[in-house]
């Protein structure tokens, strides 16, 4: 198998992932096998188009996932999409707490964000940032519940759901893989301000210079 058995996410309740168990060990195992890569930033073409579907669930995919966890840790992020390290594939990883402080760690391949029923469409207007827009933050309203359907590293169908900060992470990373940065959802004024913050700041991690 492309992934070790200890890295596989278990499933319960109609395919929902249990991503809150053994987080430390699973994240560390990926990271120790992986190599951190520099982060692509806004303006890099790979960030501004829909990524390709993953069709091969093999050792190269497993290696990519390991590198993504290593890159996420090096940049001190809570989520990372493959195009953020320059790879044109629909993959994201996460190591993110929810609003109750519960840690969620996992990977989603070919994610599709599900439409929420009206009773769950409560907007949270918290600040949001992005490793690909370093040092910039802006308030962005997003639903405080999210559910993503996709596949795990072996190609099995999975579902991931979250609330609060973790819900924001799931939406943010899925957006990446369809060519959207969070600043694309801001008003023109707020987008301009975020880009100004980025220009004036200094990233704390290695980035890929845009040509």
Active-site residue among 173, 199, 200, 206? 173
Q: Exposed, middle or buried, 95 (CB in 10 Å: 0-12/13-18/19+)?
A: buried
Identify which of 202, 154, 152 has the alpha carbon closest to the alpha carbon of residue 19. Answer: 152
Q: Catalytic site residue 173?
A: yes
- Inter-residue long-range contacts of 116-121, CB under 8 Å, 24+ positions, other chains counted: 116/143, 116/145, 116/146, 116/147, 120/145, 121/145
Location of structure tokens 């973790």: 166
What is d(CA 106, CA 26) in angstroms, rounded to the nearest whole number? Answer: 9
Contact criterion met (CB below 8 Å) for 111 and 89? no
What is d(CA 101, CA 81) in angstroms, rounded to the nearest whole number? Answer: 22
3-state secondary structure of 59: helix
Report the DSSP beta bridge partners of residue 109: 91, 151
What is d(CA 40, CA 191) in angstroms, rounded to the nearest whole number? Answer: 18
Token representation of residue 140: 């962005």
Residues that are catalytic: 173
């Amino acid at each position: 198998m492309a992934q070790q058995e200890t890295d596989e996410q278990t499933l319960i309740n109609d395919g929902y992932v249990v991503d809150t168990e053994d987080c430390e060990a699973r994240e560390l195992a990926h990271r120790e096998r992986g190599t951190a890569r520099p982060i692509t930033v806004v303006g890099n073409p790979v960030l501004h188009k829909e990524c390709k579907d993953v069709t091969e669930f093999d050792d190269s995919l497993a290696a990519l996932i390991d590198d993504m966890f290593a890159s996420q840790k090096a940049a001190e992020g809570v989520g990372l999409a493959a195009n953020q390290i320059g790879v044109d594939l629909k993959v994201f990883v996460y190591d993110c707490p929810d609003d109750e402080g519960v840690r969620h760690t996992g990977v989603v391949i070919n994610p599709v964000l599900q439409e929420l029923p009206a009773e769950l469409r409560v907007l949270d207007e918290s600040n949001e940032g992005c490793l690909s827009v370093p040092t910039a933050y802006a308030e962005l309203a997003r639903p405080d519940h999210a559910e993503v359907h996709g596949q795990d590293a072996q190609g099995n169908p999975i579902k991931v759901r979250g609330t609060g900060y973790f819900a924001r992470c799931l939406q943010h990373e899925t957006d990446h893989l369809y060519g959207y940065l969070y600043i694309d959802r801001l008003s023109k004024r707020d987008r301009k301000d975020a880009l100004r913050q980025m220009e004036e700041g200094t990233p704390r991690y290695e980035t890929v210079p845009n040509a």
